[in-house]
Amino acid sequence: MFEPQLLMRVIPALPLAAAVAIALLGPRVLKRSCHALLVVALLGSLVASVLLARQVLTAGAHGEDHAGKNHAAAAASPEADEHSTAAEIPQTTLWRWAAVEGATSSSAATYASSGGEPFAESQPLDFTIDITLRADALTAIMLVMVTFVSLLVAIYSIGYMHDDRGYWRFFSYVGLFVFSMTMLVLSSNFLLLYVFWEAVGVCSYLLIGFWYEKPEASAAGKKAFLVNRVGDFGFALGIFLIWTLFGTLNFHDTSAIDGVLGLNRIEAAAYPAGIVATAICLLLFVGACGKSAQFPLHVWLPDAMEGPTPVSALIHAATMVTAGIYMVARCTPLFAASGYAGYVVAGIGGFTALLAGLIAVTQTDLKRVLAYSTVSQLGYMFLALGVGSAAGIAAGMFHLITHAFFKALLFLGAGSVMHAMGGVIDMRRFGGLRRLMPVTHWTFLIGCLALAGLFPLAGFWSKDAILAAVYDEAAAHGTGDWEHAATFFNYLFLVASFTAFLTAFYTFRAFFRTFYGEERIPPEAGHHAHESPAVMTVPLMILAVLAAVSGYLLHVNETFAHWLAQTPGIPAVVHHEGHSSSHSFVAMLSTILAVGGIGLAAYFYLGELTQIDRIARWLRPLYVASYGKFWFDPLYQLLIVGPLWLLAQLAYFLDRYLIDGLVNLVGYLPRVFGGVLRRVQNGMLQLYVLGMIVALLLLAAAVVLPRLPVPEKPAESEATSVQPSPAPIRVGHRPPTLPSPDHTSRPLRGEGVR
Amino acid sequence: MWETIAAPPFLLLVSLAMPLWGALVILLTCRNDAASARLLALFFAVATLVAATGVVVQFPTDQPAAQANYAAAALPWLGEATGLDIRFDVAVDGLSLWLYGLSALLVLTAVLISWTTVREREAGYYGLLLLLAGGMLGVFVARDMILFYIFFEFTLIPLFVLIGIWGSDRRRYAAVKFFLFTLAGSLLTFLGLLLLVLQYDTFSIPELTARAMASPLDPAWQTAIFLLLFAGFAIKVPLFPLHTWLPLAHVEAPAAGSVLLAGVLLKIGTYGFLRFSVPLLPEATATLLPWLLWLSVAGIVYGALVALAQSDLKRLIAYSSVSHLGFCMLGLFALNRLGIQGGVLQSINHGISTGGLFAIVGMIYRRYHTREISELGGLARRTPWLAAFMVFFTLSSIGLPGTNGFAGEFLLLCGMFQRASATTAAAYSTQFYAIAVLAVSGVVLGAWYMLWLVQRVFFGPLREPTHDAEPIRDMGWSEFFSLAPLAVFVLWIGLFPGQFLKPMSATLDRLTGRATAAWEQQAEAAARTDAAELADRGQNSPQRAESPPR
């Protein structure tokens, strides 16, 4: 009924239109009803996304028989080939952003040939960037998730932001963000991806610093932007390398050239291997580390909690921070071609998961606990992607989706608490809120259970899939040459398991401290201390339902993996023998860990807190390190910011005293050497101008005078008249190619000479 | 009738005559009448912009053949008396098109931001401003060496006076330094241009270009002349380390002076390189290329670092100009289509974004009479529109995708990487990759100092210096309309850079083709030497390996 091309345009267009309309009309006309426009627009986007997903996923399911059976040699029959290139991936071009014809010089060795011959000499390539939207399975899944969560968050914000001065500004920014995020996942080339990658970054910057009068908020916004810029530095370098290597930035194939992630290239496996491929992947991964807050660029996300809580839920938990995961998943063929990049991705992911989990255990700010939890869970997803197997990628993306639901739920629940407590979010200052806020309590509990990974909630299925993928990868490498890989993944499995335990522990630590124990309410709460209005609790309930059931629904019959495998470049999950036994082992282990974590948290935090204080004293160094977030911020300040600042001061000093000093010295010399010149430099403009004019006239005269028409013998041959008359300034040799036709056509002298 | 008025040559002449005529009218009639001086200046600025727009929109983008003589208007001049073919000859081609249009646009901005800031000797001020405008417009369209040089110097004197009279505290020192510094450079440039004229026997720039392409000079001479031209153009740009006049001049200049200085006058340097140095002296360009690239990237990083250390709003943005112009030069000397087109586009972008930023700083200065960052804070509360524009132009300046800054930077950096990967000679290739990576790091530093500036001045708790009884208001209409057109172009170029690239491509190809070829020859020669050395080693090493057993 609806063309996918139309739907693809509608999905980002609606939030953009709403954002612009709110920005124009908000302050004067709409005032307190700004939200209506955005909610309607997001609802429209959600419907369009669902329709698009239905078309994309069913179209793919139709062709799945081809893709599934002979994925390795899908190019075998021309019929199947046609089917997969033309029918499956709808795309639509809006306009041509820029085109530079013949941008590569002919001597450039490029990796652009369609036959997959590496480094073939090829014709000069055009640099063309089209604003093209494209929706495959991966995109469609992301679109539904993004529009769904943002719709709920927008509704929730009606209650949360209701008496804020910047009401219209908030909804306008959110609209802009949803536009950017949907465009990010619809992008069909690396440039467009980068464009919207930065655009979501700006929305994040604006929304973190939403309460710009708070110095912490504006500082956090700047920090987020800069840390992301460091990541983008790598991302940009990666893109430039891709351009020089492939001669295009397109994902998809066009008539002129095969795309970087196009079907032709995937089927021909025409990817460079070795160090170049690894370099590209690692540079792209640096960008992903920035956006998805991975070590060592994770420091911005906890600070980003200065923004309004709905923003934390939408941007800094569910959607924007997963852009890095999306990008790495999107570039699966590139990562697969590089043998080593995957290890780095998995290693960084696993390390970050552990690190952030350790920090989250001791934080007292409820939102920061959740923020570190997000960092940790994102690390989990990278770990899965880094495994590189089909099951790993599917597990990573699966966790992305379930995490979006339950983490958005947890943040919105925390926001509900914060709303009731008059803006206080420090867990030491409130407690026992379960009777005061029953809906928030119950929905938060479901979110916590899902995050802890307890059967049968959403987190169980996805986390289990990740653990299983890591476990299988370790087993698959076995012994022999790949023994080190097996060891590596075995360690990662241990790390991931321990992190799962930590996750359950810190989640329920936060839960118990907030909702159980003696009822304590800070004075800031005033008369606010009651359950939030329905406009806030209904989104909580919807998300709670999804946090409970989405995992099972997507897991059963491998629905999610099948959907995802329709994406070109992402391999389908193939089942080996013996999987089920290992899976039940992993499932049991993760359940035990989750229950253990919850139990331990209950033991320590239900009731008096003396026990945990003793433990903290006992493990004092670890406690201090964790509470101090392992001192990354002061460390960066000391190692990077400080030296750069000193360097800047030094450069400025040199600029003033060395470089400018030399300049002044040159200007001063005439005064020293010439008494005459001193009198000339008296600051009188007229004299300077006079001097300049005189100099100009003199120079002109030097040119003109020797060339004034002199009576000459008129009968000279053409050849000699070409030669200029001897000039006082004889410059250089003439090249042998003289005389040229141009020369003869216009002699310097006037008409009279001839 | 309409055909005559809309004819590009006519419009071009009108756009050149309007500012000069306006300057004359204002200087002669409005001695003590500030209001009519302002209105007349506005009228002539708008008239100039309308005429220039007429020229720009009729540019034959799709007919490269017609571009060479587009809007050509020539008057015999001086030639009669001397027998030389010095002529008043103007035309617009792909290289000058956008620079010319940008100049016309920024004249209007300059007049509008002076509306409320200039409160003394208005007639002289606006007269000089229009004179400056006439010079700027002329310099980009002149097709005669002498005419070019006259316009080139013509931009200098009005700005010198503007800084010297309407500037702030150290205006005398700044004006004299600016004047002497640039004059010294431009005299050397003039010498270089004259040498070229002597070599090729023509004052006509297109003619000279054609002859130089047909028969290039001896490489040694090329290098000598290149260095002479370099003196003037590199000071104008300004290339590191010839930049020290710029921060001083910017800080002391009145707001409109800063806008035009950053927006247009610096571009005369990049224009000069592309119009003269690169096409006329291709071998010299190729020989000096690594040096030029290193200087450009040094400017990028150094300018950004020094900007980070600034406590004065205007000086910070002035140093950011050094950094941004480094990007433009880097693009030009990448010597491929992406780089050159990106470089020219980036010089337009810099004019728009930095012009806007200087205008905003002028607006802040008008309200608080300070440029010290530490004395200001949280102005977003007091002047939300001003803050919004500031954030907008900042994002454009740091190259946020979707704005013009990104389009230019991305293209030229792509070009630089292209150059690095296309250069197979190991020595050059490594250098070029290093340059490209350093340039990208300049993008990170750029975000740092600009966002830090915005954070300190516009966000956080409100902090204002004690100011006059006059209450602080948000932007007035003149301020709004001085920035709004620039904001439109920020988005227009950012979203549709192709529309701006296409008209310039044919001209730029023609101008830079020889230099590119010269460089590629040089690089290939170096690569062959590399290969030969490698082969030598290959032959030697087995012998060495065999020798020990013997």
pLDDT for the residue A1: 59
Compute φ and ψ for A250, nearest 5 degrees. -70, 145
Judged against a pLDDT cut of 90, whether residue A657 lies above it is answered with: no
Question: Chain A residues with CB inside 8 Å of B181's CB?
Answer: 663, 667
Quick check: A143 and A15 in contact, CB under 8 A? no
CA within 13 Å, CB half, A712? 15
Closest to A647 (Cβ–Cβ): which among B305, B417, B520?
B305
Q: Is residue B241 reached through a cis peptide bond, with omega within 30 degrees of 0 on the bond before it?
A: yes
DSSP state of A95: E
Judged against a pLDDT cut of 70, whether residue A624 lies above it is answered with: yes
Q: Which residues contact A134 (CB under 8 A, 6 or more apart)?
A: A8, A89, A90, A91, A92, A186, A187, A188, A251, A252
Question: Chain A residues with CB inside 8 Å of B218's CB?
Answer: 732-735
pLDDT for the residue A579: 57
Rounded distance between C-alpha atoms, residue A146 and residue A141, angstroms: 9
Centroid of chain to Cα A409 = 22
Closest to B447 (Cβ–Cβ): which among A107, A127, A225?
A225
Centroid of chain to Cα B524 = 32
Judged against a pLDDT cut of 90, whether residue A218 lies above it is answered with: no
Rounded distance between C-alpha atoms, residue B486 and residue A477, angstroms: 60
Closest to A732 (Cβ–Cβ): which among B83, B217, B516?
B217
pLDDT digits (tens, 9 = 90+) for B394-453: 999 988 888 898 999 999 998 898 888 888 787 888 888 899 999 988 888 888 888 888
With an 8 Å Cβ cutoff, are B440 and A735 in contact? Answer: no
Mean pLDDT for the stretch of residues B359-384: 85
pLDDT digits (tens, 9 = 90+) for B437-486: 999 888 888 888 888 888 888 887 888 777 665 677 788 888 888 899 99
B245 touches chain A (CB under 8 A): yes
Judged against a pLDDT cut of 80, whether residue B374 lies above it is answered with: yes
Compute φ and ψ for B215, nearest 5 degrees. -145, 90
- Which residue, chain included where needed, has tokens 């392409």? B213
Ranges of beta strands (E only) in B157-278 are: none
pLDDT for the residue B207: 87
Quick check: A390 and A72 in contact, CB under 8 A? no
Question: Chain B residues with CB inside 8 Å of A173's CB?
Answer: none
Strand partners, B192: none
pLDDT higher at B215 or A717: B215
A643 touches chain B (CB under 8 A): no
Its pTM stands at 0.83
Pairing state between β A91-100 and B87-90: unpaired
CA distance B364 to chain A (A): 19
Cα dihedral B124, B130, B136, B142, rounded to 10, equals -120
Residue type present at position A309 = T
Proportion of chain A in helix, strand, coil states, percent, rounded to 5: 70, 5, 25
pLDDT for the residue A285: 92
Q: Is A437 left (phi over 0), alpha (psi -120 to 50) or beta?
A: beta
Question: Chain B residues with CB inside 8 Å of A726's CB?
Answer: none
Q: Which residues contact B23 (CB under 8 A, 6 or more apart)?
A: B126, B127, B128, B129, B130, B131, B134
DSSP readout, A621-682?
Answer: HHHHHHHTGGGHHHHHIIIIIHHHHHHHHHHHHHIIIIIHHHHHHHHHHHHHH-HHHHHH-S
Q: What is the mean pLDDT of chain B?
A: 85
Rounded distance between C-alpha atoms, residue B232 and residue B229, angstroms: 6
pLDDT confidence bin for A732, thresholds 50/70/90: very low
Give the total residue count for chain B: 550
pLDDT confidence bin for B76, thresholds 50/70/90: low
Model ipTM over 0.90: no
Cα–Cα separations (whole angstroms), residue A497 to A20, A222, A585, A603: 47, 35, 12, 21
Range from A524-528, B144-148, B311-315 carrying the lowest mean pLDDT: A524-528
CA distance A215 to chain B (A): 5
Question: Chain B residues with CB inside 8 Å of A644's CB?
Answer: 305, 308
Closest to B455 (Cβ–Cβ): which among A222, A727, A743?
A222
- Which residue, chain included where needed, has tokens 């989405």? A550
Closest residue, chain A, to B215 (C-alpha): A737
pLDDT for the residue A95: 82
DSSP state of B218: P
Mean pLDDT for the stretch of residues A121-140: 78
Question: Chain A residues with CB inside 8 Å of B341's CB?
Answer: 100
Radius of gyration over every alpha carbon of chain B, rounded to an integer in angstroms: 24
Range from A78-87, A352-361, A686-695 carrying the lowest mean pLDDT: A78-87
DSSP readout, A269-306?
Answer: T----HHHHHHHHHHHHHHHHHHTT-TTSTTHHHHGGG
Rounded distance between C-alpha atoms, residue A135 and residue B121, angstroms: 63
DSSP readout, A678-719?
Answer: HHH-SS-HHHHHHHHHHHHHHHHHHHHGGGS-----S---HH
Stated as kind and residue range, the H or E segment containing B75 is: strand B73-76
Closest to B197 (Cβ–Cβ): which among A197, A219, A703?
A703
pLDDT confidence bin for A106, thresholds 50/70/90: very low
With an 8 Å Cβ cutoff, are A222 and B452 in contact? Answer: yes
Rounded distance between C-alpha atoms, residue B278 and residue B335, angstroms: 9
Rounded distance between C-alpha atoms, residue A601 and residue A167, angstroms: 39
**Six-digit token pair at B212?**
């130089």
Judged against a pLDDT cut of 60, whether residue A105 lies above it is answered with: no
